[in-house]
């Protein structure tokens, strides 16, 4: 091995050049021989008894067949330079280089060095990531499971300056958690005011999306607690309303420059029933005006046996449909799925919707002004609050781009069907 290596090494000699020729015609070969004063032999003449190194050593040069390359011995660079004119058959030349077999120890040394540098870089990266996590710690000890599931960061965005509308049963404005908040509202229900909420559902949804940093007892439950709150009462204290009332309220919220509208409401849709062109038009026009409509997928399913299609208006292509998941990050038994997905009625994203703690009106079951509820109604304001954080973080993005970011950053739920949870669990920023 060592002998062979030495032998190869010795083949490289000073004054030996590799030359690229224009072609291998006899005229070219003759001109090169004449200009450089060398004798060239074709590689076709090589055999077991006549080897390349012998030809090059003895006859000055060898032309390799089909390659237009010659190796020429005993010549000076100056001579090559002098003939390398535009009309010369010599196109390019360079001194022959020495190639050695790779030294395994050298290679190992280089790998060790690369490994050391990589380790340094990985350590630095780990340090940066750890420091970022310390700054925006997502592990809340005293928060709802939903707040932790959506990875809300302690020092992250708060929705500050973003107008968000909750279209629901109103809000109990005297709730202590909303006492110091500027809230604007309007009722679209005859003879009922927006700021009392005889139902409690609206106060619960508003609390999840925009509620205080901590409940009186200290439990954190609101996602975007510094967003500007707009309340549209579109559902009566009995919990029902009409499509036209909702459209009226969406129009109002857009006029109020709301960038996000949360709708924890719906009406059931049959299997194979296409979405209403009405809400498709409303959703598209809202997006054009930089406003994202987010709606509950509906609670008509009885899983695992009977999943039902996404309700209206969530089944419109231009309205974001939200499914509910439980603490184990499984789709909730009641949560509707993308059964009519071919017609646009797919699930876009999922959020916590089982056993969700939030504020409630004065008619709370235990009189505590708080309640834990289940439903896609509870999942929807999680996403609306998160959307407000994105709007604050990326003020120049359009509503459609915010939608895409929400989906892109969602946490995939590999054990769940896309039909049931869409792109996955919505994540805060």
Partner 1 sequence: MWVGVWRKPFDMRKNVYIGLVDRDFTLNDEVLGYFRDQNINVLDFKENFDIIKLESCDTLECKNLKYLTHLELDRIVTTQSEDEDE
Could you list the active site residues?
168, 201, 377
In the complex with partner 1, the residue whose CB is nearer, 180 or 190, is 190
Q: What is the smallest separation between the CB atom of 376 and partner 1, expressed in angstroms?
A: 5
Q: How far is the CB of 173 from partner 1 (least distance, A)?
A: 19
H or E element that contains 174? none
CB of 422 to partner 1, least distance (A): 16
DSSP state of 299: S
Other beta carbons less than 10 A from residue 340's beta carbon? 21
Secondary structure of residue 319 in the 3-state scheme = coil
Tokens at 105, concatenated: 């120890």
Residues of this chain that interact with partner 1 (CB under 8 A) are: 168-169, 199, 201, 204, 234-235, 239-248, 251, 254, 264-267, 276-278, 281-282, 285, 289, 296-299, 311-312, 334, 373-378, 380
Cα gap 196→192, rounded to integer Å: 8
Which residue lies nearer to partner 1 by CB, 35 or 251? 251
Q: Mention every residue, 6+ apart, whose C-beta is less than 8 A from residue 228.
A: 161, 162, 163, 164, 182, 184
Residue 381 Cβ, how far from partner 1 at the closest point, in Å? 11
Kind of pairing, strands 370-373 and 356-359?
Answer: antiparallel
Q: Which is nearer to partner 1, 229 or 311 (CB)?
A: 311
Residue showing tokens 């190796």:
71
Q: Which two tokens stand for residue 114?
A: 């690369």
Residue 93 or 252: the one with the smaller Cβ distance to partner 1 is 252
Contact by Cβ (8 Å): 335, 341:
no
Least CB distance from residue 243 to partner 1, whole Å? 5
210 vs 17: CA distance, rounded Å: 78
When the beta carbons of 248 and 317 are compared against partner 1, the nearer one is 248
Q: Between 164 and 205, whose beta carbon lies closer to partner 1?
A: 205
Q: Which of 49, 69, 55 is closest to 11 using CA atoms?
A: 55
Beta strand ranges found along 274-396 (DSSP E) = 292-296, 320-325, 349-352, 356-359, 370-373
Matching residue, tokens 């997502």: 138
- Is the separation of the CB atoms in 197 and 171 below 8 Å? yes
Q: How far is the CB of 276 from partner 1 (least distance, A)?
A: 6
């Amino acid at each position: 091995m060592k002998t062979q290596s030495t032998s190869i090494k010795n083949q490289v000699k000073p004054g030996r050049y590799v030359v690229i020729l224009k072609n291998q015609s006899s005229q070219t070969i003759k001109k090169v021989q004449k200009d450089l004063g060398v004798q060239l032999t074709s590689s076709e003449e090589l055999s077991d008894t006549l080897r390349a190194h012998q030809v090059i050593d003895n006859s000055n040069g060898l032309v390799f067949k089909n390659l237009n390359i010659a190796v020429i011995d005993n010549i000076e660079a100056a001579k090559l330079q002098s003939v390398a004119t535009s009309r010369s058959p010599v196109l390019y030349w360079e001194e022959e280089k020495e190639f050695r077999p790779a030294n395994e120890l050298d290679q190992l040394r280089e790998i060790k060095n690369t490994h050391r540098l990589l380790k340094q870089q990985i350590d630095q990266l780990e340090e940066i990531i750890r420091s970022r996590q310390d700054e925006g710690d997502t592990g809340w000890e005293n928060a709802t499971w939903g707040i932790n599931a959506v990875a809300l960061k302690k020092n992250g965005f708060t929705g500050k300056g973003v107008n968000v509308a909750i279209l629901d049963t109103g809000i109990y404005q005297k709730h202590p958690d909303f006492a110091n908040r500027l809230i604007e509202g309007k009722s679209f229900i005859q003879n009922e005011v927006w700021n009392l909420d005889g139902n409690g559902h609206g106060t619960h949804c508003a609390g999840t999306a925009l509620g205080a940093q901590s409940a009186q007892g200290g439990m954190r439950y609101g996602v975007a607690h510094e967003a500007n709150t707009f309340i549209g009462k579109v559902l009566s204290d009995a919990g029902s309303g009409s499509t036209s009332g909702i459209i009226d309220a969406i129009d109002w919220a857009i006029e109020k420059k709301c960038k996000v509208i949360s709708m924890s409401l719906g009406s059931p849709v049959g299997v194979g029933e296409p979405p209403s062109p009405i809400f498709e038009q409303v959703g598209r026009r809202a997006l054009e005006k930089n406003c994202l409509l987010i709606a509950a997928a509906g609670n008509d399913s009885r899983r695992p046996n009977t999943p039902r299609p996404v309700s209206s208006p969530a089944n419109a292509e231009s309205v974001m449909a939200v499914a509910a998941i439980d603490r184990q990050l499984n789709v909730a038994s009641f949560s509707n799925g993308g059964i009519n997905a071919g017609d646009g009625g797919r699930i876009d994203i999922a959020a916590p919707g089982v056993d969700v703690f939030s504020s409630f009106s004065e008619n709370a079951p235990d009189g505590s002004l708080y309640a834990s509820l289940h439903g896609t109604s509870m999942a929807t304001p999680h996403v609306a609050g998160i959307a407000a954080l994105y709007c604050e973080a990326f003020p120049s993005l359009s509503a459609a781009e915010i939608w895409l970011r929400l989906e892109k950053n969602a946490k995939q739920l590999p054990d769940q069907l896309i039909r049931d949870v869409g792109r996955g669990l919505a994540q805060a920023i």
